[in-house]
Chain A
Amino acid sequence: DSGVTQTPKHLITATGQRVTLRCSPRSGDLSVYWYQQSLDQGLQFLIQYYNGEERAKGNILERFSAQQFPDLHSELNLSSLELGDSALYFCASSADSTPYGYTFGSGTRLTVV
């Protein structure tokens, strides 16, 4: 167990729907990162939050949004889902913004049908 918890592990939903993926970082970690792994784009960085504030943004679509709550858990919201959004979504956490102690969760597999 990496200490980073992602729920749900699997999600199947229809096109046009909205889903929320949840990530609980390792205890004490302030930074949360979201990554998407798709067949087309590979593993790519979406967004980072540090202690509740957005710190960095990658190739995140406008239909996607995220937030980090006061208890430091984070949610990734995906709306108006398309078939191409089917992917494995990883969350990672670290104590600060350095890569030391950078830990990935086991991922949420999203299937859009």
Chain B
Amino acid sequence: AQKVTQAQTEISVVEKEDVTLDCVYETRDTTYYLFWYKQPPSGELVFLIRRNSFDEQNEISGRYSWNFQKSTSSFNFTITASQVVDSAVYFCALSEARTGNQFYFGTGTSLTVIP
């Protein structure tokens, strides 16, 4: 079974629009971590955020914000006022203490911001 589901394969938005990338996870661990990574066309994985299972506080960093809801097992990512430089593939990932903290990645959402 897929531990991390990113149902949106591709999203296109016009510059300055807001966009939300969905992530749903599945785990039986009480201690786990959730991540978002950005992969630009150059290929490297750029770390965006880490959240542990005991911290449900939402976070805002500039134009980026994250909504963590344990009740729905979701960890969604919103980009406000999108820019062309936000065009990339975004991955949500889960790490469980029980399985040694290897990462389970979702299939990624390819975001295209149209100028």
Mark out the residues of chain A between 35 and 66 whose CB falls within 8 Å of any chain B CB in the assembled complex: 35, 42-45, 48, 55-56, 58
Which chain A residue shows the least CB distance to B2? A42
How many A-B residue pairs lie within 8 Å, measured between CB atoms? 52
A56 touches B43 (CB 8 A): no
The answer to whether B44 and A104 have CB atoms under 8 Å apart is yes
- A88-B43, A99-B50, A106-B43 known; A48 and B102 CB under 8 Å? yes
Residues of B2-52 whose CB lies within 8 A of A? 33, 35, 37, 43-45, 47, 50
In the complex, which residues of chain B have a beta carbon less than 8 angstroms from the beta carbon of A43? 91, 103, 105, 108
A97 on interface, CB distance cutoff 8 Å: yes
Question: Number of residues in A with C-beta < 8 Å to the partner?
Answer: 24
For B105, list chain A residues within 8 Å (CB): 42-44
| Residue total for B at the interface (Cβ-Cβ under 8 A) | 21
Cross-interface CB contact of A33 among B37, B102, B106, cutoff 8 Å: B102
A33, A45, A99: residue with the most chain B Cβ atoms closer than 10 Å: A99
A-B residue pairs in contact (CB < 8 Å), sample of 9? A43-B103, A45-B104, A56-B99, A92-B103, A94-B101, A99-B95, A99-B101, A104-B47, A106-B43
